A and B are shown apart, each in its own frame.
Chain A
Amino acid sequence: PQTSPLSCSPSPMRGPLLAAAGGAMGGAGGPLARTIRAKLTAALQPTHLEVRDDSPRHGGPPGAETHFGVLVVSGLFAGLPLLQRHRLVHEALRAELAGPLHALQVIARTPEQWQSDPRAPPAPPCLGGSKRDKRRG
């Protein structure tokens, strides 16, 4: 069983995804965070949405905005297998994923699923990734 993130009494704005970030996110986030939020809201009409900037945990400088996690709760996911749900999220963020967005953790649930299980796993820790790629140019 997964461990729940620390969260005694979550405020309405901070669900488990953000709580797991341990307060690393400040305020509304940077420009990319706001873009992600706006695009996912427009595309998926979520009943619940959390956007978490994981970039600081991957060695980026503050404000790098390269690695994100999103938790999207939307009725549009009903009847869709996980792969299709994730593709919908990717489609909404196609331009960003072709550009600065390097990694995206996605949790996509229907409102019913979210109600029965309002928890989100944390992102796995960074292990260096492309920074170890000598051929990177």
Chain B
Amino acid sequence: VVVFMKGSPAQPLCGFSNAVVQILRLHGVEDYRAHDVLQDPDLRQGIKNYSNWPTIPQVYLNGEFVGGCDILLQMHQNGDLVEELKKLGIRSALLDAEKDKEKK
């Protein structure tokens, strides 16, 4: 999981970047590479050229560009994110949350 964002996961500097951080956190994904484009204008433009995507944040799973915060939010809501994380060998924390619910 790699994220290009404004600010850092500890301190996002943009509401859209923060949304990505929060969604990943919900799934228990906190150990990922995050690049702060505000630290490097060349990176900021370069990553937009690379993915042919005009805005930040940008989320990459297994080296493949997945989308920005809107797409990540929709993937989270429709269950696709859990599946994509599974493909990477990451077990979403939400699956455990569901199991806990069922136990009660």
Contacts and interface: CB of A to CB of B under 8 A. Distances in A.
Interface of A: 2, 82-83, 86-87, 90, 97-98, 101-107, 121, 123-130, 132-133, 135
The 8 A-B pairs at the shortest CB distance, nearest first, are namely A124-B15, A97-B54, A129-B14, A124-B19, A133-B38, A82-B71, A125-B15, A126-B15
A57 to B, nearest CB: 9
Nearest to A130: B38
B54 A130 contact: no
Contact of B70 (A97, A101, A102, A106): A106
Contact of B55 (A103, A121, A135): A103
Contact count band on B: 20 to 34
B28 interface: no
Given A130-B6, A133-B38, A107 B13 contact: no
Contacts of B54: 90, 97-98, 101, 104
